Amino acid sequence: MSDSYRIIENTLKNGVKRIGIMTGGGDCPGLNAVIRAVVMMADKYGVEVIGIPYGYRGMLLGGDYFHKLTCEDVQGIIEKGGTILHSSNKDNLFKYPRRNKEGFEHDENGKLIYDNFSETAVQNLRDAGIDAMIIVGGDGTLTSGRDYSRMGVPVVGVPKTIDNDLRSTEITFGFDTAVSRCVQAVESVRTTGEAHSRVMFIEVMGRNAGHIALHTAISSGADVVLIPEIPYHFDKLVAELRRRLERNGTAIVIVSEGVTPPEKGAYSTKIVEGSPDAVRFGGVSGVIADYVERALNADRDENGYAISEVLMDVECRATNVGYAQRGGVPTANDRLLSTRFGAFAVKELLENLVPDEKGNFGRMVSVQENRLTSVSLEEVIASSTMIGNQRRVDPEGELVQLARNVQISFADE
């Protein structure tokens, strides 16, 4: 029996006539390509797709906020960044911070008051005749996806994060575009570094995982890369940069946003009250650059030269690639991967709508050995902590060894 006939037969058997789709968490190149693939694949088998805007907030609002997506609606969106469904990374309906006219509401001890609106959200899905959900997001979004599957909602998750740090899949869409953006940024600032004989620090995203930084460093031929998984030593960083300056007259340092500053208290992350992912990174590269500049210029020779008679004074400059990594046109690789994920998610719902041993149906599309499959959301979201669900850089892995072999320093030895 062909795939088409099997899917049609199982669709009739499972009774899936209407699929809901939402995008949660941060925006990411390739989201629109996923939406397009879901709509096109479902239309082929006579299944309706209902778009739920604004992430989980849209599930709570329900009613007129839900709207049908047709093939005409998704024409020409495959190359667009962002998401036509919009997104939010602040709405965990299982733990939703209560608000009043002054903002968040606190109890007598100053702690946030939370409500659980998950039942309301599930009822909104039922009222809209939605039989199953495709939820596109990272670890935070898929944590709620897992919990909705426990409430009886069939869920297939699509792994989305530029950080490429989600467990149980070898790759997430958005990562290729992010690394490409970062490499372009390095190439743009390298000429300034060469012209002025400066040390250029380029900060990239990744939270507590250094995949973007490591791939960027190797792809751009950087001198040093700092990632959270391999703690650096400040003295060794300074010594390595001195050596690179003496040899090349300039240096490139890639900094993952989650690395620690040279000194405790020199840098603090921003905490966003009421957000499921409350820690906001950004800016540590500038702090490290200032410390390095002072250290290099504090060690002068008898002539007062920091490095040489040409490099009398060392200048360090920091550039944060920031949201440029997440926005704009996705690469061809991300468009292809997103389309594969979206189509497979529909196939998984229509062909394999089978509950696990606990009666839950919660799966996530996954790439294993470069082949598409699916894994249980219980496996993907196995920890109660965000970092516990992350796939981090292996300090002994092949890419770390490759970086060392091509003389990229981690300032750790």
**Per-residue pLDDT reduced to its tens digit, 25-79:** 889 999 999 999 999 999 999 999 999 999 999 999 999 999 999 999 999 999 9
pLDDT at position 388? 64
Is 183 domain-assigned?
A: yes
Which range (3-17, 158-172, 266-280) has the least confidence?
Answer: 3-17
pLDDT of residue 14: 66
Tell me the three state secondary structure of residue 39. Answer: helix
Same domain, 119 and 9: yes
> Are 339 and 262 in the same domain?
no
pLDDT score for 268: 62
pLDDT of residue 253: 98
CATH of the domain at 82: 3.40.50.450
> Please, are residues 42 and 51 in contact by the beta-carbon 8 Å criterion?
no
> Sorting pLDDT into bands at 50, 70 and 90, what band is 131?
very high
228 domain-assigned: yes
Q: Are 60 and 117 in contact (CB under 8 A)?
A: yes
Instruction: Give the distance between the most distant pair of CA atoms in the chain.
Output: 85
Instruction: Report the pLDDT averaged over residues 338-349.
Output: 96
Q: Is residue 222 part of a domain?
A: yes
Interhelix angle 332-351/3-14, rounded to 10 degrees, is 50
Same domain, yes or no: 310 and 190: yes
Task: Give the number of domains in the chain.
Answer: 2
Q: Cα 293 to the chain's mean position, in Å?
A: 31
CA Rg value for the chain:
24
Residues 26 and 95 in one domain: yes
pLDDT the model gives residue 7: 45
In terms of domains, do 319 and 215 share one?
yes
**Residue 22 DSSP SS3:** strand
- Please provide the average confidence, as pLDDT, over all residues in the chain: 91
Domain containing 119 equals: 3-174+330-382
Q: DSSP letters of 211-267?
A: HHHHHHHHHHT-SEEEBTTB---HHHHHHHHHHHHHHHS-EEEEEETTSPPSSTTS-
Do 195 and 85 lie in one domain? The reply is no
Query: Is there a single domain that holds both residue 217 and residue 136?
Result: no
Cα-based distances in Å from 121 to 59, 126, 143, 145, 343: 5, 9, 15, 12, 25
Residue 41 in any domain: the answer is yes
Is 70 exceeded by the pLDDT of residue 8?
Answer: no
Q: What is the pTM of this model?
A: 0.91
**Residues 347 and 323 placed together within one structural domain of the fold:** no
Identified catalytic residue from 27, 139, 163, 176: 163
Question: Per-residue confidence at 352, pLDDT binned at 50, 70, 90?
Answer: confident
Give the model's pLDDT for residue 390.
Answer: 83
344 and 238 together in one domain: no
Residues 112 and 163 in one domain: yes
Measure the CA–CA gap between 26 and 141, rounded to whole angstroms.
10
Q: Is 163 a catalytic residue?
A: yes
User: For residue 326, is it left (φ>0), alpha (ψ between -120 and 50) or beta?
Assistant: alpha
- Of 155, 48, 135, 19, the closest CA to residue 88 belongs to 135
Half-sphere exposure of 12 (CA within 13 A, CB side): 5
